[in-house]
Amino acid sequence: MRVRDTRIERAEVRAIYIYHSAQLDAAGCTISGSRHAEVAAIQVDSMRPGDAGRVTLSACNTFTDNAGGDLSVTGNVQREVEGEVDERAATDFGAFSWRARY
């Protein structure tokens, strides 16, 4: 998924969620105010055997005031992340993350 020059504000749970072998490439985006404290604004999960996800976040993205952090990456995910991003481990998200995946 390519996301360019987009504003995502006050998402109830996540602004962007990709999983399995999906790819995210975001540039020029503002992601702010996601409200759920147990999940990051962007969550990328590649948990199944054989999954190979990818996330690319350019330095020109802006993240502010996301209750659960800006980024969570779980499993086999190639990361290219530039700039300041509040990245949190998936273990911070507890049962909510598990329910969302299945």
Q: What integer pLDDT is reported at residue 88 of this predicted model?
A: 87
Residue 30 identity: T
- 66 in a domain, yes or no? yes
| φ, ψ of residue 101 in degrees (nearest 5) | -80, -25
> What's the rounded Cα separation, in Å, for the pair 52 and 82?
20
Q: Summarize pLDDT for 41-53 with one digit per residue, the tens.
A: 999 999 999 999 9
The pTM of this model reads 0.86
Examine residue 89 and state whether it is found in any structural domain, yes or no.
yes
The one-digit pLDDT tens for each residue of the chain (102 residues) are 999 999 999 999 999 999 999 999 999 999 999 999 989 999 999 999 999 999 999 999 999 999 999 999 999 999 999 998 999 876 444 444 444 443
Domain membership flag for residue 56 = yes
Give the gyration radius of the chain's Cα atoms. 12
Residue 47 lies in a domain: yes
User: What's residue 97's pLDDT?
Assistant: 47
Asked, for residue 20, whether it belongs to a domain, the answer is yes
Considering the domain boundaries, does residue 6 fall inside one? yes
25 lies in some domain: yes
| pLDDT confidence of residue 101 | 43
Q: How many domains are there within the chain?
A: 1
**Domain encompassing residue 41:** 2-97
